[in-house]
Amino acid sequence: MTFFRKPIQKRVPATLICALSLTACNSGGPTYITSNAQAAPQISVSAIGQVNQAPDRARISAGVVSQGESANDAMRANAELMHRAFEQLRSAGIEERHIQTSQLSLNPRYSYQDRRSPKINGYDVRNTITATAVNIDKVGPMLDALVKAGVNNINNVNFTISEPETAKAQAREKAVKAAKAKAEAMAKAAGVTLGRLTAMSEDQSVIAHPPPIAYARSQAIDTAQTPISAGEQNLSVTVHLTYEIKG
């Protein structure tokens, strides 16, 4: 007589099955577990704080373009004018440490005729300096001094604020107050109460008014000082606040 043994069935805890399945499916790779719990409701707001402040320093970029039949001639002519430019800037009250050579280039000048190979018929030298005036009142005399020295290319004048942190702090304070008031108004309109502040960040920007002054070729000037207006710069801080909501 043959006897058949009934298979033995064992119950395996569901948690063990899940663990085994998770290991098998993700062997060798990361496991990502996402909670189904809902995040606490929040209110996120942004606000901008702005402060206008007059610049207190300026940076001038100017230079000399010289030409010569040979490279040596072009460099010598340029060096003479640049020496005069440095002397004039110092006489205008600009300290040596605030004068910097920012570009110097020597390039051949080519002539193209009758579809022939180009030939060198001279050389061009471009020498650019950057001078910083820590007093806005010296900007006009700086420009006049440069032109008097023979500078024939004034690129631009950029106005800046030497210590903008005080103005930025004022703008930040305005932005935070405005953002908090906005969050409270939104919560009141929605019939809820603000909870604790959970996140805060900021963005900063500086906008110049008017934009930097740009010049083409400088022309001879009379004895009158060149008028300069620095205007104001707008410093703005944008803050982003996130609050929890109480029921």
d(CA 107, CA 78): 13
Q: What's the DSSP call for residue 102? A: E
What pLDDT score was predicted for residue 137? Answer: 87
What pLDDT score was predicted for residue 101? Answer: 93
The encoded tokens of residue 239 equal 């803050």
Range of 223's domain?
Answer: 39-55+162-247
Mean pLDDT value across residues 27-32: 40
The domain boundary residue, chosen from 102, 130, 160: 160
Q: Report helix, strand or coil for 45.
A: strand
What pLDDT score was predicted for residue 214? Answer: 42
Number of domains in the chain: 2
Asked if residue 213 and residue 166 are part of one domain, the reply reads: yes
Phi and psi at 246, nearest 5°, equal: -95, 145
Asked if residue 183 and residue 139 are part of one domain, the reply reads: no
Instruction: Give domain status of residue 22, yes or no.
Output: no
Whether the per-residue pLDDT at 114 is higher than 60: the answer is yes
CATH code of residue 173: 3.30.110.170
Asked if residue 166 and residue 156 are part of one domain, the reply reads: no
Instruction: Give domain status of residue 8, yes or no.
Output: no
CATH code of residue 74: 3.30.70.2970
Phi and psi at 223, nearest 5°, equal: -75, -15
Q: What is the mean pLDDT of the chain?
A: 81
Question: In this predicted model, what pLDDT tens digit does every residue of 44-94 receive, in sequence order?
Answer: 999 999 999 999 999 999 999 999 999 999 999 999 999 999 999 998 888
Whether the per-residue pLDDT at 169 is higher than 50: the answer is yes
Whether the per-residue pLDDT at 104 is higher than 90: the answer is yes
